Amino acid sequence: MADLPAVVKRLAGKQDTQKAYCCMMEVPTPWPQALCQCRDWITDNLGRHVEGYHLELENGDVVGHLYYALSEQALFPYEVESGFAILYCDWIQTRYQGKGFGRRLFDSFLSDMRGGGIKGVLVEGTDIEGQMHFEQYQKRGFKQVYTRGHSVLLYLPISEDEVEIMPLKGHIHHRKGVPVVIQILNGYMCPYDVSTQIILRQVAGEYGDQVIVKDTWLTAETLQEFGVAKGIFINGRQKLSGAETEEAIRQAILEEINRA
C-alpha cells in the first residue's frame, strides 16, 4: 500500500473544496448536512481564512487532508505575530494510516512553508484521544507552549525558535435563569461541531420561549469580541462539544432550565 499512486494536491478551487473532510468519507457519513455546510465554508473562505492540501488517489478520491491559514488571516483564539502558519486540522483515512501517507502530506506542507519564509507552525491540539491529540504532534517535533482546559497549543519552529502568543480573553458572561440563552459560534471548520449545532437547533425548539438560540458567524471581529473561535454556550457555559447525541444536548439544556 505504501506504493499506492497518490499525489499531494494544493486546494485551488471549488472542485477541490467540495471534496473536503475525507474523515467523513470513510463510511457513509451520519451527518451529510454538516458535511455540506463545512465544505461550503471552505469554498467561501479559501484563500482568505483557510488554505489546504489533499492527498488524492489516481481515481480522484481524497484520502488525506491538511487545512491551515497564515497567522495574519487565521481565525485563531490567540494573538500571534505575522509570518506563522496555523494548522487547523490534518487527517489520513484510517485504512491508510501507518503507511507513510501522513508524513508525505505533512512534509509537502512543511516544504512549502519553508519556501514561503514562514517562521514556524502552531497547532491547537487536545488532550482527548481521537481529537487531534497533542502527542501526535509532539512526535513530529512540535513542543507544547500553552494549555487551557482540554486545549494544548504546540509550536514547530522553522526559522524562529520561539513565538510570542497571547490567548484572547473570553467575553462570554455566565447568566442564570429562563429563558435559557444558547450562543452558537459558527466556525464551520469541523463536521463534528456542526452536527451538534444542527441537532441543538432542533432540540431547542421543543422548549418554546424557555430557550433562545443566538447564532453568530465567526469572523475576525467576533473572534475578538468573544475570545474563542468556536463553541456552544448555554447561559454562558460551554457544555457541548462535537458529535454530541440528541439526549446529551437535551440534558444540557434541561440542566440550565432546572438551575433557574
Q: Where are the domains of the chain?
A: 6-167, 180-259
Contact at 8 Å (CB) between 144 and 152?
yes
Q: Which CATH class is domain 180-259?
A: alpha beta
Question: What is residue 143's three-state secondary structure?
Answer: strand
Tens digit of pLDDT for each residue in 105-160? 999 999 999 999 999 999 999 888 877 899 999 999 999 999 988 889 999 999 99
The confidence score (pLDDT) of residue 3 equals: 62
* Nine cell digits for residue 122: 502552531
Residue type, 218: L
pLDDT of residue 218: 87
**Low-confidence stretches of the chain (pLDDT beneath 50):** 1
pLDDT of 11: 98
pLDDT of residue 70: 97
pLDDT number for residue 83? 98
For the chain, percent helix, then strand, then coil, each to nearest 5? 35, 30, 35
Rounded to 5 degrees, what are φ and ψ at 128? Answer: -105, 125
pTM, to two decimals: 0.92
Who contacts 167 (Cβ-Cβ below 8 Å, separation ≥6)? 77, 78, 79, 146, 148, 227
Taking the chain, what is the end-to-end CA distance rounded to the nearest angstrom? 58
CATH architecture type of domain 6-167: 3-Layer(aba) Sandwich (3.40)
